[in-house]
Amino acid sequence: MSGRTVSSAIVVLVLGSFFATLCDVFIKMAGPDVAVFQLTFFRAVFMCMILLPIALFKYQRMEKSTALMGVKLHFLRGNLWVLAGVLLTISLAALPLATANAVFYTAPIFIMLLGAFFYKERLSIHVIAAALLGFIGILIILRPTEITFGMISAILFAVVLAANSLLIKKIPQEQSMMYGLCITQLFALPSAGALAWWEGAVFTPDILIFAALSSVCSISYSLACLVGYRYVASSQVTSAEYSGLIFAFLLGWWWFGETPDWAVFVGSLFVILPLLYLSHQDIRRLRKGQSLTNTRANLGAG
């Protein structure tokens, strides 16, 4: 799939969403008693092992000054990745797969809110309404008669994921995504290793399997995003990523015997439908802009 057309980009992103959900499946398979910091550390190790040959290949073909750009940013993103990995593991251990993923999909809402706070991006009435409906959706999904650590972890994971996504804007354009991802993971190793050592959990070979499989799926998702968003406007294809919630429903039912109740479905609609509406509005603005450009070009040609 080239990702050069809207249809092929959508297919790529749907495949990417499947790999993202599969990553969650392998983390959840590690069990509720998994050594959280140890699993996070080995995930970082395997991601570095996979990405390092690619990063070295890119390094040989770029200016050495370019290779060292954004070091502080990669350091920050690496440590945020460790925090996100820990929160992801805790939430998946405590919540059903579909429930956790439904909460994770509030990340775009937090991206808009954090973007307004840090980058002074304008919040329209539609964005505010989407945020309010998204938070109502969280309450419907979780039905918090009591606040659990798993619930808090799922929400915090969405917040950290949003923050890390916003920082992508600051990554130097001269660096490729895969090179930057490798540097980020290298910076994640010290803190993840220190936490794993502090945890002092007994090592089991199974954790290597789950860490390796989830790392492969995570990188596959990153590659899918790289291809899917490279040639077409993100607003035209971003809704394809919500297919991951369908995969979470199906894999949760097939793999773990989980049957989502009405609250998960209704709450998911509160989260996703407003985001789909905002995406549709972006597409309309894009088409309107293109139409205006074409009209001006025709007038100029006349």
SS3 breakdown of the chain: % helix, strand, coil, rounded to 5?
80, 0, 20
Reference 114, options 176, 178, 188, 168; nearest CA is: 168
Which residue from 225, 251, 245 is spatially nearest to 16, judged by alpha carbons? 225
pLDDT score, position 234: 59
The pLDDT, as a whole number, for residue 276 is 79
> By C-alpha distance, which of 28, 47, 51 is closest to 258?
28
Q: Which is more confidently placed, 299 or 135? A: 135
Which of 163, 139, 172 lies closest to 62 in space, CA to CA?
172
Higher pLDDT, 183 or 174: 183
Kind and range of the H or E element at 177?
helix 177-199
Lowest-confidence segment of 41-50, 86-95, 121-130, 177-186 by average pLDDT:
121-130
Residue-wise pLDDT tens digits, 194-216: 999 999 999 989 999 999 999 99
7: number of Cβ within 10 Å = 11
Read off the pLDDT band of 292 (50, 70, 90).
very low
Mean pLDDT of 149-154: 90
| Predicted confidence (pLDDT) per residue in 95-148, tens digit | 999 999 988 888 888 887 888 877 777 777 877 888 888 888 888 888 876 678
* Strand positions, DSSP E, 85-197: none
Q: What are 72-81's pLDDT values in tens digits?
A: 999 999 999 9
Q: What pLDDT score does 39 carry? A: 96
| Spacing of C-alpha 294 from chain mean position | 36
Q: Please tell me the distance from the alpha carbon of residue 286 to that of residue 263, in angstroms, as a whole number.
A: 35
Give the pLDDT score at 83.
Answer: 96
Q: How far apart are CA 48 and CA 55, in angstroms?
A: 9
pLDDT at 1 over 60: no
